[in-house]
Every structure is written in structure tokens, then in C-alpha cells.
Amino acid sequence: MPAVKGDGMRGLAVFISDIRNCKSKEAEIKRINKELANIRSKFKGDKTLDGYQKKKYVCKLLFIFLLGHDIDFGHMEAVNLLSSNKYTEKQIGYLFISVLVSANSDLMKLVIQSIKNDLASRNPVHICMAMQCIANIGSRDMAEAFTRDIPKILVSGDTIDQVKQSAALCLLRLLRQSPDLINLGEWSSRVIHLLNDQHMGVVTAAVSLIDTLVKRNPDEYKGCVSLAVSRLSRIVTSSYTDLQDYTYYFVPAPWLSVKLLRVLQNYPPPEDAAVRTRLTECLETILNKAQEPPKSKKVQHSNAKNAVLFEAINLIIHMDSDPNLLVRACNQLGQFLQHRETNLRYLALESMCLLATSEFSHEAVKKHQETVITALKTERDVSVRQRAVDLLYAMCDRTNAEEIVAEMLAYLETADYSIREEMVLKVAILAEKYAVDYTWYVDTILNLIRIAGDYVSEEVWYRVIQIVINRDDVQGYAAKTVFEALQAPACHENMVKVGGYILGEFGNLIAGDPRSSPMVQFQLLHSKFHLCAPATRGLLLSTYVKFINLFPEIKPQIQDVLRGHNQLRNSDVELQQRAVEYLQLSTLTTADVLATVLEEMPPFPERESSILAKLKKKKPDSVKENAETKMPRPAAQVNSFPEQPHPIAMPEVHNEPNQDSADLLGLSTPVPTMNATPPKDSAAGLLVDVFDTLGAMTTTTTATNGLTPGADEGFKSGASTVVGAAGDLTEGTEQRYKEFLCKNNGVLFENDLLQIGVKAEFRENLGRIGIFFGNKTSFQFTSFTSEVSLPGELSNQLMVQANPVDPVVDGGAQKQQMLNIECITDFSEPPLLNIQFVYSGAQQRIALKLPVMINKLVESTEMDSTTFFQRWKTLSSPQQECQRIFKAQHPMDSEQTKAKLLGFGMGLLENVDPNPENYVSAGVLHTRNQKVGCLLRLEPNMQAQMYRLTLRTSKESVSKELCELLESQF
Amino acid sequence: MIGGLFVYNHKGEVLISRVFRDDIGRNAVDAFRVNVIHARQQVRSPVTNIARTSFFHVKRSNIWLAAVSKQNVNASMVFEFLYKMVDVMQSYFGKISEENIKNNFVLIYELLDEIVDFGYPQNTDTGILKTFITQTGVKSQTSKGQLTKSQSKEETSQITSQVTGQIGWRREGIKYRRNELFLDVLESVNLLMSPQGQVLSAHVAGRIVMKSYLSGMPECKFGINDKVLMESRGKSTMDDATRTTSGKTAIAIDDCQFHQCVKLSKFETEHSISFIPPDGEFELMKYRTTKDISLPFRVIPLVREVGRQKMEVKVVVKSNFKPSLLAQKVEVRIPTPLNTSGVQVICMKGKAKYKSSENAIVWKIKRIGGMKECQLSAEIELLNTNDKKKWTRPPISMNFEVPFAPSGFKVRYLKVFESKLNYSDHDVIKWVRYIGKSGLYETRC
């Protein structure tokens, strides 16, 4: 508080100095209590206070409040101050109100009235103060009261610049508070034209406002692009002496430039060639300026200059269209990589990560590999090193993978704990993605486990085993390598796991060498046994039983181990059970049975790496977890096999070595137990339950065949996005579409960018379909549209109503579209779903078949044997019947068939057909025009592996269509 | 066990820092400052737990003393130690203030070394400490020459044997011309009373402070009117007369605690308090009673809220003791609402004033006789506030000093026996004084 002079308040100054001189907290509280009592008596007193006194006391109250005490009076006096004409009194009044009056206070009405008066006044200072108060309080009430006034002031011709500036910022605040209330409507073009204002302050304030408006409604404000570009070019080309007050340390209007560049990032590159050229020129000028020697040594100068530069580079990356600019930007960033300033290095690495993803600049980024690697090793700040790792990951491709992986591995030994796990995942992914030679891959991953075993997640080593098992050429090498790695005196548990698994499968490939004879292998593994956790021990026990098969000569030793008390009486039930069962297996069965049961694992089906999913999960901003990663692991199913003392059931034990491998397959697929007998009903039921909750698999999937091959193909093919003309179906979606025949919920489409899930409900002739679009990237999709088209006759057969979808899908977000479907008459072709969106500047198109088949509208009916055959006979004319005889494409399992028929929607009638092998179903097809009764009979012939499918309905086309749909399922 | 001890000034600057155990890190000093001294809300609890470390603090004027421990330490032991530490410092350099602590910090560290060992409190008796921690320093004498050196050596060995001996609190060979002793019975009365005059809780905390100037190694016997002691005596003598008289005046002591010089074995077997007193002043005994307390004052409040703008308060104070006695330093504190804008007070006796800094009317009466009554009436004006919070009406509190023991405590006798020197009990001049003070003496209104 300045010494008292002129308009100062002496009492206030004295009070504040008293408070400051207080020796202790107690003394301060006493002084404040005294002052509060004084103010109370003054406010209460009969004498009316003049403006000066009111101001002084309100000021004191404000000061006391700011010291942390509650103030529960004086509000009225503050409101009175608002009506004063003196600047200081009004100012203090507004200050008190914006700090102390809560938004829902009764006084707010009075305050709003005073603000209205001030807004209407001629004095610009009063208007500004009023707007400042509105913005400070920024409540919904304020927004409601002033939605009309503020924009009017903003665009009015006779408001002075300073007021316009305040109005723009005030409006921005209200817009953020209650976006629904503010609608500029007819004024939007005038707001855009504020960019042309003479006064730089107005422009700066207006750009902030426009940026927010543009984010809400890009189309309405499209006009701002050309204006922004021209304004930008005027600033960029001006010399620093031109913009007198707005030049900051020799940089012309840095804040305005940055804001303009940000506004431009809301739009794709301008289509108008002239504007585009101008913008390119601007960006080039900015890049040129970065090359010029600095005009000042002050840090403010370089900060301002670099701020503009980085925003320009962001815009270049956003446009992603001009290779020349991209390469220049990259070179500029390359210079920053060696800059003294840590912040600059950080920003450079971060921006380069984005540049590396652009095809134009990828090569240019690669030039800086050496520098980035040095940065990784020498940076002192961990966040910078983290960026360096990200960049290395982004710039890696087939040519430099080996080198980058080697560097990352080398660095891993000294890396910070916080980034190790992520690095491990990245190394694992790069090694797999760019492996030319799989021995190199195996070496790399084993090294990884050796160096950072604690950070190697399960997915990583599952993946190694998947790859080793699927590739014959590396198996021997892998066995040799793990054997060598295990010889280290202390090795990580993950290494023991990998070693145990691989030796158990392929130990025979190296058994020829006397240094790694069966006995040596066994002893080596067993030496690690006692140091491991129960899960690993279980795996090792499985390995031992596999050894019995591989090397019959060491069977007695292994049996000794299994027979040991540590195993047979282990407190861990799982270990105990394994030991008992393996021991029995090895003593009771013949070599042949043993060989069959303990056969080498079949190759794993190829699928997307689960590590990638894990990395995505680790970076929550980048990808919305896809449904698969969330699913519970089906490990439980293996453990929950019913205990069966009967030796016949023993082959099931064979599942147990796969307990860990269950997860190897990915995260949700069950064990492919080729040789096992079909599990008992209870187990199957359990599995079906698991899949019901998973929702992504057909219920027909049971343990016997593990996984429907189709599901997997769908998985693979989803990886490619087809950019094609609308109407062409996106490739690889057929399989998934077919799966929907027997289910209503699941994933319809998935690629790197987008996942589309479907949830459908049908009742009689009506259906509701929810379509969920999940953005898997960390960037926005813009101009997102999704339309349903009904080709050909379908438009007469179906009615589809679709809600519009939000045009913007944020990174990682999910958007929903609801469809209402009404079936008028039966149909054969499904409706098509066309999706279009812009992802990082590129237009993407996806066309899919909507899973709406005629069988969805069939409701099952119950009937007994006599009625069924009565109706069956009435529908005997050849037009009503449709019969197919075909060879089974899938194993003929009754449980599966039942599940499929139930999923199909026609239900299943028990005890109807005299032959219990046969299946019969009955249902009614609902359409708006008519109801069609449908009867079905499916006769399997086990010997010939054939089916005969007969459908009888009252309408010829329906019979045909249903028959065709169902045929493909068996 | 105490891990460390810190002394701060009111700004939170560390004046003394002594760490006894390794488990207390350097950051503990700052933790206390940040979380207690500089806390936004005033910390009222004397024990604060920050990051699994307990801080026990007491405040003397503007100085904070904080003991720190990581272990589950006996909290009352720690506080007892802190109070003792304050006593010790006061007896060495008077008032505890920032200035005094700064001037005597070498001495304080020396004292700390002596009274705490590895976190365990040791001998905190001032009299003994003063024999070997002197402000002038024992060593200054040694420079005079060989003879004095041997003398001082003798002296130190004497101190050692005495401090480590059976009677560590008194040295031999004390001589006074006049054998004299002073006995103070100091009591503080605590009361909480309902507006209707019902006693909600009341207790007296008393202490007996003795100042002895006696020659040699005298053995003292102390008699009080405690029910248990009297009855056991009565039984042993089988004297009916004493029994009846004792029944009238005996009081029930809830619990008591003695100075280390009292022979507890004798107290337990013979129910007599006998001891060899330290030289000078010491606290012989502490006790607490809750029954049959004669409350010296009764406060009758009458509060009437007249509308939202005004309040009327009437307070009557009645003194309730023998008319011949005089109470002193009487002060009644009547809290006022937080939105008081003006107060008019009228009182018949003493002076009353509205103290806005304390949000209370303070009514002071210098002297008041027994069985008297005085009255105060006040009109309080209130200001309308935005808050609809009702005033909580804190209790009216009172301070006073009366020349009797409200618990009814009586010293029956104090006999001094010194077999080796030729003075008897009759030659000792004895003084006894009773002072009753107010502790937390509150009446709800």
C-alpha cells in the first residue's frame, strides 16, 4: 500500500501496517477483531457514511477477507458503492463483489442491475469495469443477463477499441461458462471481421474468442481462415518497428501470431490457391526468421521467437501437405536438438515425434538419429529422455531398427525406473515388427529379459513363445540360446519361464550336444525351481512331464522329483494337483499315449500382437482400450476342470501345461486342445458363460475347436483401411458380418484408427441398433459422418431412421449412433453403412454391411410334436419348401449346433422329432405387412459328415433366404 | 523415547535443535514448522502426527518447544518432561523468551545433554543440576593452582557420589542458622455449570510446594486430612475420638503423586508420608479431587435476544465462602456475538468494559468478600449479516483467587526429625498458606 497521498486512505494504510507489525498470530487476530467491531459499529451507526468512508471500510473488509477470515457483512455497502460516480469507489465496489459475493446470493439481482446501468453509460471506463466484473464472476446468471448486451457492444461501430477488447474477452469467458446460451447468429461475420481491426489489442482479444467459436462450430466461421492468413502475413512481413507497442523484444506481436496459427490449426489446408500460397509464404518467412541471428541476447527475445516458430511447425504438421515445409521444419528442429536450452530440446523432440509419423518428413527425421541417441544417453532431465525414447520409437523402420533397438537396449540398463516398462514394451514391439531375422529377435528379447526382467510384462514373453513355436527355423537356435542364458548364476524369473517353456518343447533339438544333454537340461532347470513363484513352478512341472516324453532316459529322475514331498504335499493346490497327475500320467500310460498327450504344441494362430495393445493401454490418451484387452483372462477355465480320478480323463491333464499358454494366444482365446476329448457339459457351459460376457465371440465357440477361424481372420483383415469410393464395401468385413448371424452384440469392424461396435435389439418387426464408433488414435476425427443406405429394392423392404453423429470424435473417445429399423416385408440384402471422416488431413471412407438379417426378425414359438408335424405337412408345396444337402464345414458337435440354432433365433424344440439326432425349430417372422410362420429341420449324418437342412415357410422367398443364411453356419 | 527436541521462535525459526535418535531426519524440523506453526488453521492439539512422526509441543509466551518421536512413546511422560524442561530453564535464566534462549544456548545444550540420554529423560531436578551445571562453570576454578585443583577434584567426586547415591536430591553438610520451612497448598478449581446452576463437571487439581531451609539430613513426616490415611491411622490407634473428628473434615483424594524423595514403601505399608526433603523449593505432592468441592463463586446468567438487532445480558455473581475471607483478582468474561456493533454496560461493583479485540465483555472486580452478590447488565446491539448461522453462545468464564483450599484439603502436621544435629521439631519455624485459584471456571448461558 503506498504512503497516503491524494486519494489514498489513511485509515487503511494504518490498519495494514498494524497487521504487519503484529508479533504473533494471536495479536493479529485481536487487531482484526477490533477492526471488525469498529466497522460494524460504523455501519450500524445512525450517521450515514459518505462514499469515501464506505470505500475505506469495504477495503478493510476485503483485506481482512484476503487474510483468511470470514466476512459476513458489508455486502450491501459494497453494492451501494457501485452506484457512485467516482472511479475509485466504483472500482473497490466491483472488486469486493467479484471477490466476495457468491454467485447465488440474493444481492446478485442488485448487482446485475448496477452492471446494466454501467454498461449503458457513456463513460468507457465504467463499461470496462462492468465487463470486468461480469467476466470475474462469470456465473450462469451473468451469462443469462448479458447474452445480448456484450455482443452488441463488441460489434457496435461507435465503441472505442479498449472497450471492444474487454467485450471480446468478457464474451469469451461467458462462452466458456455457458456455451449453450451464447449464440451470435447474425453477428458472426462481424466478429470474424474484427480480425481486420486497426487496433492490434482488439485483434488479439478477438482471435481468442474466434478460436473458441471455431472449435464449437467450424463451418460457421470458415471465413476467418483467409482473414487470419492475411493478418498473419502482415505481421510476419512487418519489420519490428512497425507495430510499436505490440513488438515484444524485437518480435512483432508474438502472442497474436501464435493465436492466429492456432486458429488455422482448426481447419484443413486452405483450398483457395492464393490463400494457400500466402500461408505457405508466411510459414516460410517464420522459418527463415528462425535462421537469422538473434536481435537480442535476452531470453525473452528467443522465447517469443521460438513460441511463434513452434506454433508454425505445429501448423505445418497439422496441414501435412507441403513436403518442402515439413523437411524445413524438421531441419529447424534438428538444430534445436543440440540447443543449450533444455526446454527447446524437449519441444524439438516432441514435435519431431509428430513429424516422424508424416510420410513426407519421415526420412528427414531419420537423419537426426545420432543426435537423438546422444540425447537419450546424455540428457539430464528424465522427461526429455522420455521424449527421446518416443521419437526413436516413432522414427524406427526396417532400415534402422537393428541399430535403434540395440541403442535402446544398451540404454535400458541405466534407464530411469519410471520409463523402463514403457521402453521394454517399445523394444519388444520394434524387435518384432522389424525383425528380418528371427534369431535376432530371440536374442533381443532374451537380452531384454536379462537386462530388465522386472519390467517385462507377461505379454512380452508370451509373444516370444508364440513366435518361436510358429517358426520352425528358430526353434533350435532359441533352445540353444535360452539354455545358455539359463546358465547365468542369477537369472530372472521371466527368463526361467521362457527357458522352461522352450526347453520343454524343443529341448530335444539340442540334446545331441553332450554339454546340453537331457540330464544337464533338467538339472539346470531344476536348480532354479526352488527360487521361483508357484506359477513358474507349475510351468516347470509341465516342462518336466514334457521331458519325460522327449527323453525317456531321464524318466526315473523326473519321477523322483515329482514324487518328492515338496511336490506331492505342496500346500499350493495347483502344484500338488499337477505333481500328482503328471506322476500318474508318466507311470500308468504307455509311451504312445504319452507321446500323443504331450505332443509338441500346435502353432498359434497369427494375430495382432498383444504387446501393442498393452502399450496402448499404458498411454491412456492415445487409444481407447479395445474390448479385448479388458476381457477377463480365461485362465480360470483350465483350473476349473472337474477332478476326475478315472484314467480315461487323463488326457485332459494335457491342458494344464498350457495354462500359461492360454494367455499366449492373446487375451481372450481359449486353449486349442486338439487332442483332448470334448469336455463335460459343466465345463462347456462355463466356457459359454465366459464368452457370453465377452460378447465378442459367438456362443458356438466351445473348447473343442478353440476359436472360430473366422474371428481371427476378421482380426487380421481389420488392419487395413481401404480408402475407396463410397459404395465399395471395405474389404475383410464379410467375416465379421457373418458372425452377427447368430449374435446381436459385438465388434463389426476394427482397424488402426477406428473400432465399430454394434449392439442390436429386435422385437417383432422393429429393431434398434446402437453403433459405437471408438477413435483408437490420439487425434481428432473431424467431419465424421455415418449414413445408412438401402440399395436397390431394399428401400421398399426396410425403413431406417438414423440419428446424426457428432462431426468431431476426439482422440480416444467413443461416439454413439442409434438406428431405428422397421421391416416392411422380407428382404435378402443387408443395408449398408457408409462412414466418412477426416483423420490428420486425409479423408477416410469405410463401407460396411449392417448386420440386419431376416432371421433377426424371427421369434421362436413353442409347440409340441403333433402340432409341429401337422403344420409341417400343411406347408408341403414345393414353393414353400427349401432344402439343401451339404457337407459339414465345422466339426459336427451337437452342443455347438444347438447353440448356433438358438443364436439364429428360431429356438429349438426338444422331443419333437422321432430321431433324437435331428434338430427342429419353429418361429414366426414379423414384418409390417405380414407374419410368416417358419419351420426348420436339420438332419445330421455323422458317417458322411453331411447335413440336410429343410425349411418350410408360408412364403417362398423367406424359405430360400433363411436356408441360405443358415447353410453357411454348419 | 524422545527422538529429538526443537525450540522455535514465533516465526518458526529454529533456536535449539537436538536430535537424540537416528530415526529423526533433518526434515522433521521443517515438517513441524510447516504443519503446525505456519498452519493455516490454528493447531490446537498438543500432539500432531506428521508422516508417522509424532510431535508433542508446548508453548511458552512466543516460544514453541517440540519433542519428536517416531515410536509409540508415552505422551504424558513426554509432556511431563517438557514441563520439567521449562522449569529447569526458568530456574537457570528466568523468563523463557527468544532473547534469553539465544543468550543461553550453550547452557541449554549442556542441560539437554544432562537431562536426556538417548531419548530417555534423566534427572531433571534443578537443585541437583545446579550443583554440577553452573552458569559460571566449574572449570574456571581449576586454573588457580594445584591445590585448588585437588580440591575441586574432591568436589567433583563428591558430586558424583551424591548424584549416583541413594539420596541423589540432597547433599550432605547443609547448615542453616534458622531452620525454617514454607508450605504452599495451591489449588485450581475447574467447573462447568449449566445455565440452571447444575454442576456438569467439577474437579480440583492441587499441588503442595515446599520450600525448606533445614540443616543436615532431616527426616520429615507429613500429615493431611485424606480419608484413607486418617482411617488407617484411626484403626491402628483405635481412638474413637480422633475417628469422629476425622470423619468431619476428611476428604477423598482421587489420585495423588509424590516427589521422588517420598518413601513410597512406607506410604504403602504405614500410610504415612515421610521423606528427606531436597534443599530449597520443590513440589512435594500433586493430587486431584472431584467430590465435595466448595465452589467459591456462582454465576447466574440471563440472556434475552430482543429481535435480530438487540440482545440483553444480565449476569449475577454470588460469592460463596466465609464472610471473613476476601477473594481477589476476580474477572468475569462474557462473550459477545461476532456481529456486535455496540455495547452498553452497567455494573454496581468493579469495572466492566467491552473488549472488541476479544469479542467479550470483561468485568473486573479487585476485591470481594464472602457471601456477597453483585450484578452486571448489558445491552448489545447487533448488525444484520448475510450468514444465517446462529450464535453458539460460548460459556461465561471466570478468574479469581481465594485464600482457602476449595477441595477442603488441610495440612494436619509436618514433623521434622534430625537425629544427628541438635535441633528438634519445635525449633523449626513452619509456615503454611492456602491459595485457591480458578482453572477453567465456566458457566453456560
pLDDT, one tens digit per residue, over A17-62 is: 999 998 888 889 999 999 999 999 888 877 778 888 889 999 999 9
Are the C-beta atoms of A848 and A833 separated by less than 8 Å?
Answer: yes
**Strand, coil or helix: what is A201?**
helix
Cβ neighbours around B429 below 10 Å, total = 11
Q: Is the pLDDT of residue B406 over 90?
A: yes
Residues 6+ apart with CB under 8 A from A312: A261, A282, A283, A286, A287, A329
Among candidates A466, A445, A699, which has minimal Cα distance to A605? A466
Q: Which residues of A touch B357 (CB under 8 A)?
A: 30-31, 33-34, 37
Runs of H (alpha helix) within A1-107: 10-21, 25-44, 51-66, 75-82, 87-100
Sequence length of chain B is 445
Q: Which residues of B touch A34 (CB under 8 A)?
A: 356-357
Which among B357, B359, B387 has CB closest to A72? B387
Nearest CA in chain A to B383: A44
Res B63: pLDDT: 92
Distance from CA of B391 to the nearest CA of A (A): 13
> Cα–Cα distances in Å, from A906 out to A74, A959, A963?
77, 13, 12
Q: Which residues are A939's β-sheet partners?
A: A948
The rounded distance, in Å, linking the Cα atoms of A524 and A383 is 42
Distance from CA of B384 to the nearest CA of A (A): 7
Q: Which residues are A438's β-sheet partners?
A: none
Which one has a higher pLDDT value, B232 or A340? A340
**CA B277 and chain centroid, separation:** 20
B356·A44 Cβ contact <8 A: no
Res B315: pLDDT: 94
Measured over the CA atoms of residue A895, residue A898, residue A900 and residue A903, the dihedral's sign is: negative
Q: Is the pLDDT of residue A948 over 50?
A: yes
Strands B255-258 and B429-443: unpaired
Which among B42, B358, B381 has CB closest to A33? B358
Q: Is the pLDDT of residue A725 over 70?
A: no
Q: What was the ipTM of the complex prediction?
A: 0.75
Distance from CA of A104 to the nearest CA of B (A): 12
Among candidates B339, B333, B347, B340, which has minimal Cα distance to B380? B340
Q: Looking at the complex, does the CB of residue B357 fall below 8 Å from at least one CB of chain A?
A: yes
Strands B280-289 and B297-306: unpaired
Q: Looking at the complex, does the CB of residue B136 fall below 8 Å from at least one CB of chain A?
A: no
Res A5: pLDDT: 53
Q: A252-278: per-residue pLDDT in tens?
A: 889 999 999 999 999 888 888 899 899
Question: Which residue type is seen at B427?
Answer: D
Res A497: pLDDT: 86
Q: A850-894: per-residue pLDDT in tens?
A: 888 888 888 888 887 888 888 888 877 777 888 888 887 777 777
Res B182: pLDDT: 95
Kindly tell me the number of DSSP H helices and DSSP E strands found in chain B: 9, 23
Nearest CA in chain B to A106: B386
Among candidates A492, A403, A398, which has minimal Cα distance to A446? A492
Cβ neighbours around A132 below 10 Å, total = 17
Distance from CA of A70 to the nearest CA of B (A): 10
Q: Looking at the complex, does the CB of residue B194 fall below 8 Å from at least one CB of chain A?
A: no
Are the C-beta atoms of A928 and A827 separated by less than 8 Å?
Answer: no
Give the burial string for B126-151 (b: 16+ CB within 10 Å, else e): bebbebebeeeeeeeebeeeeeeeee
| Residues 62-121 of chain A whose Cβ lies under 8 A from any Cβ of chain B | 68, 70, 72-73, 75, 105
Helix-, strand-, coil-residue percentages of chain A, each rounded to 5? 55, 10, 30
Are the C-beta atoms of A504 and A479 separated by less than 8 Å?
Answer: no
- The grid cell for A439 is 534369431
Which among B42, B356, B385 has CB closest to A72? B385
Cβ neighbours around B399 below 10 Å, total = 16
B356·A33 Cβ contact <8 A: yes
Q: Looking at the complex, does the CB of residue A41 fall below 8 Å from at least one CB of chain B?
A: yes
Residues 6+ apart with CB under 8 A from B237: none
Determine the residue among B40, B43, B357 to mutate to test chain A binding: the one whose Cβ has the most chain A Cβ atoms within 10 Å: B357
- The grid cell for B226 is 485424606
Distance from CA of B37 to the nearest CA of A (A): 10
Q: Is the pLDDT of residue B68 over 80?
A: yes
Which among B10, B42, B340 has CB closest to A23? B10
Least confident of A829-833, B8-12, B285-289: A829-833
Find cell 465503441 and name the residue: A159
| DSSP codes joined into one string, B99-154 | HHHHHTHHHHHHHHHHHEETTEE----HHHHHHHS-SS-SGGGGGG-HHHHHHHHH
Determine the residue among A44, A67, A69 to mutate to test chain B binding: the one whose Cβ has the most chain B Cβ atoms within 10 Å: A44
Are the C-beta atoms of A315 and A261 separated by less than 8 Å?
Answer: yes
Q: Looking at the complex, does the CB of residue B39 fall below 8 Å from at least one CB of chain A?
A: no
Q: How confident is the model at residue A697 (pLDDT cuts 50, 70, 90)?
A: very low
Q: What's the burial of A421, exposed, middle or buried (CB within 10 Å: 0-12/13-18/19+)? A: middle
> Cα–Cα distances in Å, from A530 out to A496, A533, A534, A604, A661?
11, 8, 9, 30, 22
Which among A33, A41, A70 has CB closest to B359? A33
Counting one residue from A and one from B, how many pairs have CB atoms under 8 Å apart? 49
Q: Is the pLDDT of residue A399 over 50?
A: yes
Determine the residue among A41, A66, A100 to mutate to test chain B binding: the one whose Cβ has the most chain B Cβ atoms within 10 Å: A41
**Strand, coil or helix: what is A297?**
coil
The rounded distance, in Å, linking the Cα atoms of A171 and A152 is 11
Q: Where are the beta strands (DSSP E) in A876-953?
A: 881-887, 919-926, 931-941, 946-953
A44·B381 Cβ contact <8 A: yes
Q: Which residues of B touch A23 (CB under 8 A)?
A: 10, 62
Q: Which residues of B touch A43 (CB under 8 A)?
A: 341, 383
Give the burial string for A449-469 (b: 16+ CB within 10 Å, else e): bbbbbebbbbbbbbbbbbbbb
Q: B126-171: per-residue pLDDT in tens?
A: 878 887 887 754 443 444 444 444 556 667 777 777 777 777 788 7
Cβ neighbours around A50 below 10 Å, total = 10
Find cell 541437583 and name the residue: B128
B357·A75 Cβ contact <8 A: no
Cβ neighbours around A55 below 10 Å, total = 26
Q: Looking at the complex, does the CB of residue A37 fall below 8 Å from at least one CB of chain B?
A: yes
Res A447: pLDDT: 82
B358·A40 Cβ contact <8 A: no
Question: Which residue type is seen at A479?
Answer: A
Which among A25, A44, A73 has CB closest to B342? A44
- The grid cell for A463 is 509373444
A40·B383 Cβ contact <8 A: yes
| Predicted structure pTM score | 0.58
**Strand, coil or helix: what is A29?**
helix
Residues 6+ apart with CB under 8 A from B245: none
Phi, psi at residue A197, to the nearest 5°?
-60, 150
Res A636: pLDDT: 33
A37·B356 Cβ contact <8 A: yes
Nearest CA in chain A to B62: A24
Q: Is the pLDDT of residue A645 over 60?
A: no
Q: Looking at the complex, does the CB of residue A30 fall below 8 Å from at least one CB of chain B?
A: yes
Q: A898-921: per-residue pLDDT in tens?
A: 777 777 777 778 777 777 778 888
Are the C-beta atoms of A729 and A849 separated by less than 8 Å?
Answer: yes
The rounded distance, in Å, linking the Cα atoms of A787 and A835 is 6
Are the C-beta atoms of A480 and A446 separated by less than 8 Å?
Answer: no
Half-sphere exposure of residue B170, counting CA atoms within 13 Å on the CB side? 24
B359·A37 Cβ contact <8 A: yes
pLDDT, averaged across chain A: 78
Determine the residue among A22, A28, A36 to mutate to test chain B binding: the one whose Cβ has the most chain B Cβ atoms within 10 Å: A36
The rounded distance, in Å, linking the Cα atoms of A319 and A471 is 43
| DSSP codes joined into one string, B367-423 | EEETT-EEEEEEEEEE---S--PPP--PPEEEEEEESS-TT---EEEEEEE-SSSS-
Determine the residue among B310, B356, B362, B384 to mutate to test chain A binding: the one whose Cβ has the most chain A Cβ atoms within 10 Å: B356
B386·A40 Cβ contact <8 A: no
Nearest CA in chain A to B337: A37
Q: Looking at the complex, does the CB of residue A40 fall below 8 Å from at least one CB of chain B?
A: yes
Nearest CA in chain B to A101: B386
Which among B341, B357, B387 has CB closest to A33? B357
Nearest CA in chain B to A74: B385
Least confident of A151-165, A657-671, A765-779, B289-303: A657-671
Which among B340, B341, B386 has CB closest to A72? B386
* pLDDT (mean) for A569-585: 83
The rounded distance, in Å, linking the Cα atoms of A241 and A676 is 85
Q: What's the burial of A20, exposed, middle or buried (CB within 10 Å: 0-12/13-18/19+)? A: exposed
Q: Which residues of B touch A25 (CB under 8 A)?
A: 42
* pLDDT (mean) for A579-602: 81
Q: Looking at the complex, does the CB of residue B42 fall below 8 Å from at least one CB of chain A?
A: yes
Q: Looking at the complex, does the CB of residue B385 fall below 8 Å from at least one CB of chain A?
A: yes
